[in-house]
């Protein structure tokens, strides 16, 4: 008799994890928003604003990836259970093997979606800029900086990110003094943010006629691409609106109706008011404009503070803040924060750095 209980247990486990993913990934809200976006894109007038249409297209693609992934898992697990029931009833060993293989593929997908929980930062979904700066050491350090540039570009290709070389300063003999690369794609910053720090290379230098061992450094700094446009979306539930009679000079009433408007934005405590017009409707519209302007300025101040913090963080990357050591003549690359180590140095330099990134994200770095 075929032993199918472990496969039923696996299906139960994967269905439970998929149900949990619905909550983690905010599936229902994304599915509803996807319906709204599709409906808006069906309206002819949206295409008169190309930027808006493109933004909606990008949003639809991002939402669709999550919604379709969850739906595919649920459908696949349901099919696996039905097929296993048939195979169990008929004692069909070949079909049981097919179900086991299907469950392995489905588990890989579940693990991939579960990993997205690591991307919980406000900026994690953004595109990213990677700055690489050669340390002191002349040609050897500059060659190392170029090796890192190649490594990240190869990694971007592997991951399906669109890469753009924004700036590069060539070395005097070989390599580069500095470079900036833009990575475009979903969660680019989330994937790359833990790469910030100093990368140390130890090898026998090809630029040393005596073939001596050299140690070189390069600093990497990763930052998110911030949208220039600020969309101030005010939730009516966040407002307290009071109306009262407008007062003129000497306490005289401008009119006998309650036309003056005071709006309090509860999350921030910002208060705006207007009593210039006899129309409550016009005063309310003017007050809302004031509120949007103040919220816009508040958001700008927040972004300036974040930018300043990033610049300070960049300045704080000293040559002692090493995150990874690449000892090529001993075939050993080790992440100094997580302890993850590999002997396949060429694969890493060819862009296979997921093991280091995943370990650092799981460690909450």
Q: What is the pLDDT along the chain (365 residues), one digit of tens a residue?
A: 678 899 999 999 999 999 998 888 889 999 999 999 999 998 888 888 888 888 888 889 888 988 999 999 999 999 999 999 999 888 889 999 999 999 999 999 998 888 877 887 778 888 889 999 998 878 889 999 999 999 999 999 999 999 998 888 888 889 999 999 999 988 899 999 999 889 999 998 888 777 788 889 999 998 888 765 566 778 888 999 988 876 554 444 445 567 788 899 999 898 888 876 778 888 888 788 778 878 877 887 787 787 777 666 665 555 567 899 999 988 999 999 999 999 999 999 999 999 999 999 888 77
The domain made up of 236-307 is a member of CATH 3.30.160.20: yes
Per-domain residue ranges of the chain: 5-118, 128-226+318-362, 236-307
Local structure of 223: helix, strand or coil: strand
Say what the pLDDT of residue 81 is: 95
Q: Is pTM beyond 0.85 here?
A: no
Lookup: tokens for 156: 């971007």
Encode 345-354: b = buried (16+ Cβ within 10 Å), e = exposed: beebbebbbe
Say what the pLDDT of residue 250 is: 41
The domain made up of 5-118 is a member of CATH 1.20.58.410: yes
Question: Where does 128-226+318-362 sit in CATH, by number?
Answer: 3.30.70.1660
């Amino acid at each position: 008799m075929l032993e199918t209980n472990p496969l039923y247990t696996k299906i139960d486990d994967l269905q439970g994890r998929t149900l949990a993913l619905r909550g983690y990934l905010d599936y229902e809200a994304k599915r509803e928003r996807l319906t709204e976006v599709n409906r808006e894109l069906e309206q002819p007038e949206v295409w008169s604003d190309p930027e808006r249409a493109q933004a909606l297209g990008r949003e639809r693609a991002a939402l669709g990836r999550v919604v379709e992934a969850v739906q595919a898992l649920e459908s696949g697990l349901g099919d696996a259970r039905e097929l296993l029931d048939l195979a169990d009833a008929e004692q069909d060993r070949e079909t049981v093997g097919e179900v086991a293989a299907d469950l392995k593929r489905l588990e890989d997908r579940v693990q991939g979606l579960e990993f997205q929980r690591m991307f919980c930062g406000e900026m994690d979904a953004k595109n990213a800029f990677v700055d690489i700066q050669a340390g002191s050491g002349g040609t050897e350090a500059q060659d190392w900086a170029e090796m890192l540039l190649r490594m990240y570009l190869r990694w971007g290709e592997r991951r399906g990110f669109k890469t753009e070389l924004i700036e590069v300063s060539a070395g005097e003999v070989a390599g580069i003094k500095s470079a900036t690369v833009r990575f475009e794609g979903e969660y680019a910053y989330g994937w790359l943010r833990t790469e910030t720090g100093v990368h140390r290379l130890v090898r026998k230098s090809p630029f040393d006629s005596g073939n001596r061992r050299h140690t070189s450094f390069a600093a990497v700094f990763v930052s998110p691409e911030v949208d220039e446009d600020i969309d101030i979306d005010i939730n009516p539930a966040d407002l307290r609106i009071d109306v009262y009679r407008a007062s003129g000079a000497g306490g005289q009433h401008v009119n006998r109706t309650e036309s003056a408007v005071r709006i309090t934005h509860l999350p921030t405590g910002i208060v705006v008011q207007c009593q210039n017009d006899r129309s409550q409707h016009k005063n309310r519209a003017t007050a809302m404009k004031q509120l949007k302007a103040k919220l816009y300025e508040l958001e700008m101040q927040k972004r300036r503070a974040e930018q300043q913090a990033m610049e300070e963080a960049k300045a704080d990357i000293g040559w002692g803040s090493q995150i990874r050591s690449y000892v090529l003549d001993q075939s050993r690359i080790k992440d100094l924060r997580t302890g993850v180590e590999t002997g396949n140095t060429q694969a890493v330099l060819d862009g296979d750095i997921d093991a280091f990134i995943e370990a650092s994200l799981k460690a909450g770095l």
